[in-house]
Amino acid sequence: MERAHTERPQGHSPRQIGPYYLITRLDPAGPGFPPVPERRFIARSADGDRTVLVRTPGEGVDPERFLVEADAGRRLLGPWVSPVAELSPPSDSPWYASPYLPSLPLPVALAVHGGPLPERTVRAIGAALAETLAGAHATGITHAGLSPAAVLLAGDGPRLTCFGAVRAAAPDGEQRSGLPGLEPGSLAPEQASGGRPRPPGDVYSLGAILAYAATGHTVPDSAELPESLRSLISRCLTRDPAARPTAAEVLHALPPASTAPASTVLDSSTSLLTPGWLPGRVVAAVARQSAEVLAAELRVPQTHGA
């Protein structure tokens, strides 16, 4: 597993968040990685029956807004979402949990692969995320937290996390640029200045994720982008929200022309998330993480009278 470390979250006893005991921190340590708006840990219940991905607020995040956004995240549905399954009780320090799925944050996947991901992988990631956003936007939901660090890569496809991170970082009307945890290249200009997060802002962030997966940078030079994706990503990253494509249009544009005739390509990620979509080194790292978590032994403190 890409090296991670376990740290004591503020407001919690050592190695424990709520009822869960920490196995490892999911996010990478050290410079060179994009910021993460929440702390994410792989953890297990004392009885060993449940392994989860548990999150706590990142630096500078208001804990009340963090929980509000986590609760709202229950509305974001679909196969490519890391679902909010459990929230901390009102009396506890804030956290929320999702079922554990072996996966790597997108920045770690690039480090494991040794550089930008193949175009096939970039298109598959984009299609899954665009499909999720198109469904959310159709029901009036804005993710407001997309960034490279918000994307986890599992063997069967990506998973979205960090729902509402922009709203949790600061309320509407307040400058959000430069705040801890927010990746500046992924933040739409209208959101950076304090504007209310809306679907075009999600599309801007999606373009930044595609750019990052393809080049290692959220704001690359146009020449760095794969020629076949250059126009689409550039349209997503335009400063004018009205000039950006919709998530549904991004989804429709991502399958390469060779996949099938245009009239038969489904607006779905299924045509791209086929065997081999993920590079071998990343698949191996995900499998290694799974084995290490499965083998992890927890020394759960004994309670008095036990």
Higher pLDDT: 10 or 205? It is: 205
Q: Is the pLDDT of residue 300 over 80?
A: no
The arithmetic mean of pLDDT across residues 18-27, rounded, is 93
Judge contact between 113 and 148, C-beta under 8 A: no
Question: What pLDDT was estimated at residue 297?
Answer: 81
Long-range contacts of 79-84 (CB under 8 A, 24+ apart): 79/157, 80/128, 80/129, 80/131, 80/132, 80/157, 80/158, 80/159, 80/160, 80/269, 81/132, 81/159, 81/160, 82/53, 82/152, 82/159, 82/160, 82/161, 84/163
| pLDDT tens by residue, 128-176 | 999 999 999 999 999 999 999 999 999 999 999 999 999 999 999 999 9
pLDDT of residue 224: 94
Q: Which residue has the higher pLDDT, 297 or 13?
A: 297
Question: Which residues make Cβ contacts (< 8 Å) with residue 107, sequence separation at least 6?
Answer: 28, 33, 34, 148, 149, 212
Predicted confidence band of residue 265 (pLDDT cuts 50, 70, 90):
very low
Q: What does pLDDT average to over the chain?
A: 89
Report the alpha-carbon distance of residue 27 to residue 185 in Å, rounded: 19
* Banded pLDDT at 205 (limits 50, 70, 90): very high
Residue 302: per-residue pLDDT? 61
pLDDT digits (tens, 9 = 90+) for 56-102: 999 889 999 999 999 999 999 999 999 999 999 988 899 999 999 99
For residue 257, the model assigns a pLDDT of: 60
**Mean per-residue pLDDT for 27-34?**
78
Residue 266 has pLDDT above 50, yes or no: no
Tokens of 24: 């490892």
- What was the pLDDT predicted at 19? 94
